[in-house]
Amino acid sequence: MKQYALRLMYLLAIVPISTLFAQDNEKSEHYNLKLAFEFGTNEAGCKFVGHERIRKDNKAFNELFSNRRYSLVTTYFGVKPEFFIMNNRLGFASGLRFTTAKSELVAGMESFLWKAKEDGINTSYYRLNKVSQKSYLFSVPFEMRYFLNNRELPFQTYVKIGASLNYRINSVNYVDFVNATM
């Protein structure tokens, strides 16, 4: 099974390259292979649905979930070659991408209570202002784009579908306590 996977990877790598060196009778300018560098950021904010470790009977809980206090920010950069077929209308791209994703839950005006431990009799809570996590990801994106108009035009319209395989390199968690001695 492993040898079939290696052969498939070899074919997927060699076919786009072999078209560059194919012999034509005419002079050929190979515009069907493009190297793209990408950089971007996305931000999302939403209402937090809830978590079983947050105490729900205090004023901060109602404030926390009535406002948009949960956010996720991703920043990425990468490089990906793209190979075009069908008169340069259909493109396939894959490459390497490095992504940082930061999510945080902020209390707002008051702090919120986070359940630390619970036994049969006692429950311990921490009073928190903010909980955040920053993750570093290495990924391989796979994309397919279909251009609705000619690619040589200054403004291009296309439809894109894609997926990404991500590998988390590291994560850092941060908790902002109300009392610094906690």
Per-residue model confidence as pLDDT tens for the chain (182 residues):
555 655 665 555 555 555 555 555 554 455 688 898 999 998 877 666 555 556 555 555 555 555 445 678 899 999 999 999 888 889 999 999 999 999 887 766 666 677 777 787 887 777 777 778 899 999 999 999 999 987 777 888 999 999 999 999 999 988 777 776 66
CA distance 39 to 96: 12
